[in-house]
Homo-oligomer: A and B are copies of this chain.
Amino acid sequence: MAREPSVRAVAPPERLWHRSTWLLSQVSARSYRLVLDHLGTANARTDYAVLAGLDEFGPISQAALGRRLGLDRSDIVALLNDLERGGLVARTPDDSDRRRNSVTITAGGKRALRRLDKRVDAAQQVLLAPLNVSERRQLNALLQRLLEHHTAFRTPEQRSP
């Protein structure tokens, strides 16, 4: 999505232009739309997150999956309902703790995940086009630092014992 030549350049207010909160909001909105464009459907974005989580951590409970992805338990239910219906994930009761379902990704889910991988990568490339490799790393490192400070998310190497 290169800038349309007909769109007039504008300067936002200085107050907003120099505040991280506004900048993050604006960039995130464009990023969201880019991913949406590349994935084609609205729920593919969260499907991708769920499949990625299951591929890496499955079998896993719904609640634990939600914690790993930063998603609400009730939203996880709706997402898994659709994915199970599409044959991309499977739920079975956990024999050792009947409160839980054990959720896994299916072979079809893995194939879908790989297709989505490509599209999500393409979206990253478009989003980050004006940055070189070093700058991209810097941006990610700064965002990760902020997440580690403000959430329970940790870089995988830093896992609590």
Contact = CB atoms under 8 A, between A and B. Distances in A.
Interface residues of A, number: 72
A154 B68 contact: no
A interface secondary structure, majority: helix
A117 B15 CA distance: 9
Contacts of A149: 3, 129-130
A11 interface: yes
Nearest to A7: B152
The number of times this chain is found in the oligomer is: 2
Contacts of A23: 140, 143-144, 147
A44 interface: no
Contacts of A138: 138, 142
Interface of A: 1, 3, 7-32, 34-35, 49, 52-53, 55-57, 67-70, 117, 120, 123-124, 127-131, 135-136, 138-140, 142-156, 158-160
